[in-house]
Amino acid sequence: MIEVNLLKCTGCGRCVDVCPAGAMQVVAGHARVDAARCQGCEACVGACPEGALSVVAAPVTPVSDRPLRVRPDVVIEASPKRGVQPWHRRLLPALGTLASFTAREVLPRVLEYVASLPAKGDAAGSGKAGVMGQGPTAGQRHRHRRRGG
């Protein structure tokens, strides 16, 4: 929220000229901020030659001026885990982050490696070295134990 120091403000109107939301106006020789229209961009603060505008935290206004009355027959239970979300709601964003990282960092390196492998039947070699599922042991899926020894 923008606050106007009426002692410093000369009513020059530069803040009105730079405000993109039209929240500033000069009334009775001083700048005035329409808080409902203000977007908080602070363009007016930088434009003020007198330093009459400043950024302040929005004031906290009470909901009601009357005292809060508590009914003795009403019981309010407070859960200690109120702010903690269930595991499945925390897991999905984590999986999305992991997928994004993999697509951005890991996948390009894997594709670059695969593209650099020699093609099958290439003159540089047999094309079977280092490629899974090819070569003399491609059909073997288990290991034999050596007996004796």
pLDDT surpasses 50 at 127: no
Residue 16: partners with Cβ closer than 8 Å, 6 or more residues away:
24, 25, 26, 31
- Give the residue carrying structure tokens 């901020």: 33
Domains contained in the chain, number: 2
End-to-end CA distance of the chain: 85
Tell whether 67 is covered by a domain: no
Return all residues near 14 (Cβ < 8 A) that are at least 6 apart. Answer: 47, 48, 49
In a domain, 142, yes or no: no
Do 6 and 51 have their domain in common? yes
- Quick check: is 28 in a domain? yes
Q: Average pLDDT over the chain, rounded to whole?
A: 76
Residue type at 136?
P
Q: In 3-state terms, what secondary structure has residue 85?
A: coil
**Which residue range forms the structural domain that includes residue 108?**
89-117
Query: Is residue 94 located within the same domain as residue 49?
Result: no
Distance separating alpha carbons of residues 31 and 15, to the nearest angstrom: 8
Asked whether residue 70 is domain-assigned, the answer is no
As a whole number of angstroms, the distance between CA 121 and CA 130 comes to 14
Does the pTM surpass 0.75? The reply is no
| Assigned domain for 124 exists | no
User: Which CATH number characterizes residue 45's domain?
Assistant: 3.30.70.20
For 112, list phi and psi in degrees, rounded to 5.
-65, -40
More confident residue, 59 or 88: 88
| Structure confidence at residue 60 as a pLDDT band (50, 70, 90) | low
Examine the domain organization and report whether 6 and 48 are in the same domain. Answer: yes
